[in-house]
Structure 1
């Protein structure tokens, strides 16, 4: 008998033994050899390789469909939030912007092979929308305080440098004192030096992070202000041409 035949026979023997054990357990569970055989045959049908692969395929298809519905909803939300940027773009620029939004949302998401970016209706500009937006922008610009934000950036940038230098001087002074301190073992001296370094480094890092947060917030506010000023210019320009371009309020499908 060849080695392959021996392996086949060994696998068949194990399969027979497994089948017998399953039937015995099912008979014990259902208290009936007939019910055990029915249950066993049911399992054989459900757990063929073809049936398993089909269930896995169905589960994956369901998951991909759920993923697609999720990213479609997120895409629509982002497009609506980006309306006042999209509406002033050319058709080509708008299409590219929509593709960029879709790519960003779907970059790490598995989707059905035939999944496409959903079409989106961008409401065209109307005089009423433009007046409302102009009021929103002017209110936002009036609330902004660029002088204060610039002061925050300058102050925090300076504070990072000064605080770091002060802490480093204090750290070095304490380390120098510990190196000549009497009445402590060398191991204790090294422990105290290590703790001093760690404490001052932590305080420096914490302060720098706090200052960076304030700087980033102030810079974001200044950037937001500049964007609103630019957009206000576009809105005012569009209002000046509104008698030619804003007659109705249809939907343009993109």
Structure 2
């Protein structure tokens, strides 16, 4: 009895002969054989693996270029955060930035980190940055942000309570209504519940955006205060 391997080989031989005969109708018999042989070579497992290897190498090369660009831009944006760190903290921060980009761009984990030479700020630059942080802190309206956050939180809770009460009343009305089948009643009840749920969700999303905006303001001021404390230390050392 032929084995599965024998059957597979017979099928391949038959297909090869069929393709060769079909090609021979528009080419010579020798040309048809050469075309089939070239295709067998081109689509051999070794050839496929080599093409995949080449394509992956090209992808990695492109990805490294993009990662290096993002690395430079990220560290440029993080300049002042990096400036107030100790040498050890700075190295750790830079390493974490590169690690995140290696993962983001699908690079091999052992891809070398690009060189980065942090240029320390001059005394004049420190003073300018200090003024920027002080201006940010002094102009931030934290009271308004707190009021907006509290208002949104209260509005979110009160709207939900009001809509749930409306739903309770509506369900009671539907349950008292006559002249409809149980199926129709169930459909109306399900629709009322869904409308209530969607309305609450939409309103909550709007209030969450307002809350998020306030939290961003608080975080920006807190970060500025922390950076300012470290910056003042650098300024004192520079005097």
The normalised TM-score by structure 2 is 0.87
TM-superposition CA deviations, 1:155-182 (whole Å, max 9, x none): 1111122111111111111211221123
What residue is the counterpart of 1:251 in the other structure?
A: none
Per the alignment, do residues 25 and 113 of structure 1 end up closer, same or farther by CA in structure 2, a change over 3 Å counting? Answer: farther
- Superposition pairs of residues 1-254 of structure 1, within 5 angstroms: 3=2, 7-8=5-6, 10-29=7-26, 31-107=27-103, 109-112=105-108, 114-243=110-239
User: RCO higher in 1 or 2 (8 Å CA, sep ≥ 6)?
Assistant: 1
TM-superposition CA deviations, 1:195-244 (whole Å, max 9, x none): 2221112111211221112111101111101111222233333233324x
Deviation at 1:126, TM superposition (A): 0.7
| C-alpha separation in 1, matches of 2:66 and 2:93 | 20
Q: Structure 1 unaligned segments of length 5 or more: list them.
A: 244-254
TM-superposition CA deviations, 1:19-64 (whole Å, max 9, x none): 32222233334x3334334433433432333222212211122222
| C-alpha separation in 2, matches of 1:187 and 1:11 | 59
| C-alpha separation in 2, matches of 1:184 and 1:196 | 16
Q: Structure 2 unaligned segments of length 5 or more: list them.
A: none
| Equivalent residues of 1:68, 1:112 under 8 A apart | no
What is the root-mean-square deviation of aligned Cα atoms in Å?
A: 2.4
Aligned length: 239
| C-alpha separation in 2, matches of 1:157 and 1:12 | 72
